[in-house]
A and B are shown apart, each in its own frame.
Chain A
Amino acid sequence: MGTQGVITMQPKPNSGLFKRNPPIAGEADAIERAKNGDPDAFSKLYALHKRRVYTLCLRMLGNVSEAEDMTQEAFLHLFRKLGSFRGESAFSTWLHRLTVNLVLMHLRKKGLQLVSLEETINPSEEDAPKRDFGSRDPQLAGSVDRVTLERAVASLPPGYRMVFVLHDVEGFEHNEIATMLECSTGNSKSQLHKARLKLRELLRQPEKLQPVEGLKEVAL
């Protein structure tokens, strides 16, 4: 018997080396002009980064209205702090870190301020992944695509989703996530693993995944 898993996805659009945040044409010039108060340049920065910032907010919050509010706040904050960007990291990395911190601050203001995220992100037993390897179902092979994965991620309990998005999608390290979420590195690893197990469960039953309402998906 082979050792291939049941989940076979369509070919990745950019498989191989995991290159993040390559330079975007015109970005450096727009940053410098925006720093000098050029409104058109700031508009260009918004156009270049709105999708990633909004998608990040949406994946973290799971709510269109809140995601749009936080996107707005992120770019207003960017406008205020752009002068402090020194180019020591990729601009998009800097912007994403700013956005993540804003979203986490927003979540804490909503009611997580009295309890650490380590205690609150753990979902109920019902939401937790089953503790077995599961049987392989050949009917599922090749049936999962990006949209299905997006729906599955949206279906994750908030704590799992947060760590999965920060680590596997955004590329933050466990120690960075632990600092941001005020939890231990071990907890971040554990939550990520549970998130992946839960996603595996969800992807085995894609017909049960609900479309994420209110999303304006752009053509790829």
Chain B
Amino acid sequence: MSDLTNINFDTMTTAEFETYLPDLFATGGGKVSEDPRFAKFLAANPDCAALVSDLETIAEYAQSMFEEPVHEPSDTVWSNIASKLKEGVGGEEDGLNGTENLATE
């Protein structure tokens, strides 16, 4: 990934900006538009500002996909689980070899 030290964000090209963008989002708390280091560049490059705005919108809205899951499994799923638990299969490692460390805190 990009080395963000020693970069002049005011004079970088749009191509350089595109190269740096994944790291800028990853290191800046996801809010490139609010980072004062980029204010001058974004003001001078409205297409870049629009891109940043859209990507931030997508990232922010993705959070609501977590908060309100919209899909629901069919009733068959619980029926199968309940049936397996009644059979005692739930207490065994039914074919899930190597899963001992899946549930770590």
Q: Measuring CB to CB, which residues of chain A are less than 8 angstroms from any residue of chain B?
A: 1-9, 12-15, 18, 20, 39, 42-43, 46, 50-52, 54-56, 58-59, 67-68, 71-73, 75-81, 84-86, 88-89, 94, 97-98, 101-102, 105, 131, 133-136, 146-147, 149-150, 153, 164, 168-171, 174, 185-186, 189-190, 192-193, 196-197, 199-200, 203, 215-218, 220
C-alpha gap A171/B30 in the complex (Å)? 12
Is residue B34 contacting chain A, with contact meaning CB distance below 8 A? no
**B78-104: contact bitstring with A at CB < 8 Å (1 yes, 0 no)?**
101110110001111110101100111
With A15-B60, A192-B25, A220-B70 given, name 10 new contacts (CB 8 A). A14-B64, A50-B77, A88-B105, A98-B102, A101-B102, A105-B102, A136-B50, A168-B63, A189-B25, A218-B72
Chain B residues near A39 (CB-CB < 8 A): 85
Q: Measuring CB to CB, which residues of chain B are less than 8 angstroms from any residue of chain A?
A: 1, 14, 18, 21-23, 25-26, 33, 42-43, 46-55, 57-74, 76-78, 80-82, 84-85, 89-94, 96, 98-99, 102-105
Closest 8 CB pairs of A and B: A5-B53, A3-B49, A5-B54, A168-B62, A55-B69, A193-B22, A186-B1, A81-B103
Q: Identify A6's interface contact among B50, B62, B72, CB under 8 A.
A: B50
C-alpha gap A162/B14 in the complex (Å)? 28
Task: Decide if B57 touches A9 in the complex (CB within 8 Å).
Answer: yes
Q: Which residue of B lies closest to A164 (CB)?
A: B62
Q: Which residue of A lies closest to B93 (CB)?
A: A80
B49 to chain A, nearest CB (A): 3
C-alpha gap A76/B91 in the complex (Å)? 8
25 A-B Cβ contacts within 8 A? A1-B46, A3-B49, A13-B67, A14-B67, A20-B66, A51-B69, A54-B71, A55-B70, A76-B84, A76-B90, A77-B99, A80-B90, A80-B91, A80-B93, A98-B103, A102-B96, A134-B51, A146-B64, A153-B62, A169-B62, A169-B66, A193-B21, A203-B58, A215-B71, A216-B73
Chain A residues near B65 (CB-CB < 8 A): 59, 146, 149-150, 153, 169
Q: Identify B14's interface contact among A2, A133, A168, A196, CB under 8 A.
A: A133
**By DSSP majority rule, is chain B's interface helix, strand, loop, or mixed?**
helix
Q: Identify B85's interface contact among A4, A79, A216, CB under 8 A.
A: A79
Task: Decide if A94 touches B103 in the complex (CB within 8 Å).
Answer: yes
Chain B residues near A215 (CB-CB < 8 A): 71
Q: Which residue of A lies closest to B60 (CB)?
A: A12
Q: Which residue of B lies closest to A187 (CB)?
A: B1
Task: Decide if B103 touches A133 in the complex (CB within 8 Å).
Answer: no
B100 to chain A, nearest CB (A): 9
